[in-house]
Amino acid sequence: MRIIVTGGAGFIGSHIVDAYLALGHDVLVLDSLWEHGGGRRQNVPERASFVHMDIRDQNLARIFSEYKPEVVCHHAAQHSVAISARDPRYDADVNVLGLINVLEQAVKAQTRKVIFASSGATFGTPDALPIRETTAQRPTSPYGITKMVAEHYLRFFKAEHGLDFTALRYGNVYGPRQDPNGEAGVVSIFIGKFLQKQGVRIDWDGEQTRDYVYVKDVARLNVLALERGSGNCYCIGTNQRTSVNQIYRSLVEITGFQAPVTPGPKRAGDARDAQFDYALARRDLDWEPQTHLIDGMRETYEYFREQMKFA
Ligand SMILES: NC(=O)c1ccc[n+]([C@@H]2O[C@H](COP(=O)([O-])OP(=O)(O)OC[C@H]3O[C@@H](n4cnc5c(N)ncnc54)[C@H](O)[C@@H]3O)[C@@H](O)[C@H]2O)c1
């Protein structure tokens, strides 16, 4: 199958590229290597083609018409909640107008399906946990708003042009290659500090929880979505809550290093808890997370330790 992975030089996208290539698919990565994103040219394997391009670029038409992808796996995005709050116009430009450019070119190239990286951020602070597909989406950031709007555009393009889609509302994805300098990945941020024998900052009281899902489980999900989950949106997590303090304690166990802790304030708009029931994804996509958090954290730690040797 010929597949374009937008954002394929980034953290999640590059693991999806690996999974597609392993199955013998033909992959083209389209990525702008955005300065505030986690995209790196070296994340793209040699067997994949690489086009350095912004998803908003009008030249996208040429790439799509020449390559004729059967599926587009759309992971390129402005993914920072903080940037979206400071600059909602930029966020909408990339996450809405960029998406529309991708969808229009996909229709012209007779692409069968788009797999879309949506987000748990589309739910904001829910009334009850766990979050399911029936939970009301009330996003509290421009980023959450544009991800939710994107899902509506996907529905429109399917109804109007027959372009199929599956939208995956990820919880907190973690694993190798996640940018340790980013804002989203507490696991990689903490691992970076532990490896440099530095202290970590724990905001609020550290008892706030998130649903951490391993990136290789997410890559396998994107393989299943090539053929399943037509026209639907799915909550993706482990249906478990883990506090920041638990992440810290697990890293102390893995590394044997008791990193000093500095308490920090509650960040504006931070939700207390998140937990995603993935029952619908299990039913429709035959997907379940397989990696226990402690094992995924160990693999991530080993990855960053190796990386440090060559830094
Ligand atoms: N990491 C998470 O926990 C998480 C959770 C929910 C949703 N998501 C979504 O998953 C996707 C991938 O996120 P990630 O964590 O791998 O981040 P990432 O920054 O590592 O990957 C995003 C990639 O998109 C590229 N990109 C950004 N703007 C672009 C543009 N205008 N044109 C072309 N390429 C552009 C970046 O260069 C980068 O390689 C994003 O859509 C994000 O919103 C991530």
The list of the chain residues with pLDDT below 50 reads none
3-state secondary structure of 61: helix
Cβ-based neighbour number of residue 41 at 10 Å = 11
pLDDT of residue 182: 66
Ligand 1 pocket at CB < 6 A: 6-7, 9-13, 31-34, 37-39, 54-56, 75-79, 94, 98, 117, 119, 170, 172-173, 179, 184
CATH of domain 175-210+240-273+291-309: 3.90.25.10
Annotation marks residue 143 as catalytic: yes
pLDDT of residue 309: 83
Q: Length of the chain, please?
A: 311
Phi, psi of 180 (to 5 degrees): -70, -10
Nearest atom, ligand 1, residue 33 CA = 37
pLDDT in tens, 60-110: 999 999 999 999 999 999 999 999 999 999 999 999 999 999 999 999 999
Average pLDDT value for the chain: 96
**Per-domain boundaries in the chain:** 2-173+214-236, 175-210+240-273+291-309
**Helical H runs in the chain?**
11-22, 60-67, 81-86, 88-92, 99-108, 142-161, 186-195, 215-224, 244-255, 279-285, 293-309
My answer on whether omega of the bond before 130 falls inside 30° of 0, hence cis, is: yes
pLDDT of residue 308: 85
pLDDT of residue 50: 98
3-state secondary structure of 151: helix
Nearest CA to ligand 1 atom 12: 75
Nearest atom, ligand 1, residue 74 CA = 41
What is the topology classification, in CATH, of domain 2-173+214-236? Rossmann fold (3.40.50)
Span from the CA of 228 to the centroid of ligand 1 (angstroms): 23
